[in-house]
Amino acid sequence: MVSLAARLLLLVAVAAAAARCAAMAATAHPKGLRVHLTHVDAHGNYSRLQLLQRAARRSHHRMSRLVARATGAVPPAVSTSKKAAASPGGVGDLQVPVHAGNGEFLMDLAIGTPALSYAAIVDTGSDLVWTQCKPCVECFKQSTPVFDPSKSSTYAAVPCSSDLCSDLPTSTCTSAASNKCGYTYTYGDSSSTQGVLATETFTLAESSSKLPGVAFGCGDTNEGDGFSQGAGLVGLGRGPLSLVSQLGLDKFSYCLTSLDDGAGKSPLLLGGSVADISESKATAPVQSTPLVKNPIQPSFYYVTLTGLTVGSTRITLPSSAFAIQDDGTGGVIVDSGTSITYLEVEGYRALKKAFVAQMSLPVADGSETGLDLCFRAPAKGVDEVKVPKLVFHFDGGADLDLPAENYMVLDSGSGALCLTVAASRGLSIIGNFQQQNFQFVYDVAGDTLSFAPVQCAKL
């Protein structure tokens, strides 16, 4: 029988341990965490046309990868050829191999003890956090040293019996003796990471906050050209292995600077009150719409698109046009890693028709930009050209009322004024061109997406 004194000592010990844990959590992120995102082309010294071409190409690749994941089909390859760009509705014969894992923004992290710094692609469309690890069986080139788990005192392989292992879409037990959880995480038809699931201490660069026990993929076999912008990937999706879920964040937000602000840092705000939109910094009222869950694709952040407005034309489509189907296809996701917005063919064709009817400029060949709908801008006075207003209408009455620079881009070299919206089949995506200089708040606890126009460089 345990004595009363022993029980009291046990209670005191438990309370002390809980207090220590609470103190550690408060030290790690008392009001939330702030990090900065850097655009993948920020230091490439590219021309505006090259920036457009690269962003369009990555967007086509990523869209095909996401559609393949949503539909469960091997995606057709993507082309930016003239034939594809000029095809009716913007969906052409797709010809170039797809490489998954493409992203638009990088965040600086450090992993292990002692900490090794690296840059990782940020992805709101997937969950797993991973980096390349020694000894590499097959690894792509990266600008920073490859992580060596044998040199870190805080590295621990996840056992096969762990709930973390069962959270993986595909896992294997490496051997009965080692009892390590092996994983294979596939992004598309040819891109994947494979290795051992482990836990480590991660350090976020700006805050120097140490996050112990983060589950991550220690990948020794990694394939796919799209990964080469960073040394791994940080998933911010809705699944249990994402950084958002592992940190138990109630919400997170980001504010993406414009394509023209190549060196600009885009803030990513994780948890607590730091993620909320400050009304003093927003230039219009905050809009909110419910986040919708798709049980077949639980990682994506879905919203309900109810209609579009182009200039004086309100485009109302059947609810089925952008709805999630019984087989998990369809629906509209908000994605930070895709530059261009993609709409189901029915919606895109209606939007394209409205733009052609209301623009006072002739249609031009925009194949060099990789975009579908372009107009011939005047040689002089292009700043005075008026373009129709574009508004996305969401469930709950939220309107994403976009400034012209968020959906029309000018290639000064060719004189093409192009719409950064294209067609897709199987999934619609609100891309990051449309999100520029808006703060987006993902309230994962309340299943709500909020947004408002904010000067991101000043946030």
Q: Supply the residues annotated as catalytic.
A: 123, 335
Query: What span, in angstroms and rounded, lies between the C-alpha atoms of 145 and 438?
Result: 35
Q: Indicate the burial class of 2 (C-beta count within 10 angstroms; 0-12, 13-18, 19 or more).
A: exposed
Instruction: Please provide the DSSP assignment of 387-454 as one string.
Output: ---EEEEETTTEEEEE-GGGTEEEETTTTEEEESEEEESS-EEE-HHHHTTEEEEEETTTTEEEEEEB
Query: What span, in angstroms and rounded, lies between the C-alpha atoms of 79 and 59?
Result: 11
Report DSSP state, residue 138.
B
Pairing assessment for the beta strands 130-132 and 209-223 based on DSSP bridges: parallel
Three-class SS state of 252: strand
Phi-psi region of 240 (alpha: psi -120 to 50; beta: other; left: phi over 0): alpha
- Which two tokens mark 152? 């870190």
Residues in the chain: 459
Residue holding tokens 């109810």? 306
- Find the largest Cα–Cα distance for the chain: 92
Q: Indicate the burial class of 114 (C-beta count within 10 angstroms; 0-12, 13-18, 19 or more).
A: exposed
Query: What span, in angstroms and rounded, lies between the C-alpha atoms of 34 and 40?
Result: 19
Q: Which residues contact 311 (CB under 8 A, 6 or more apart)?
A: 354, 358, 388, 389
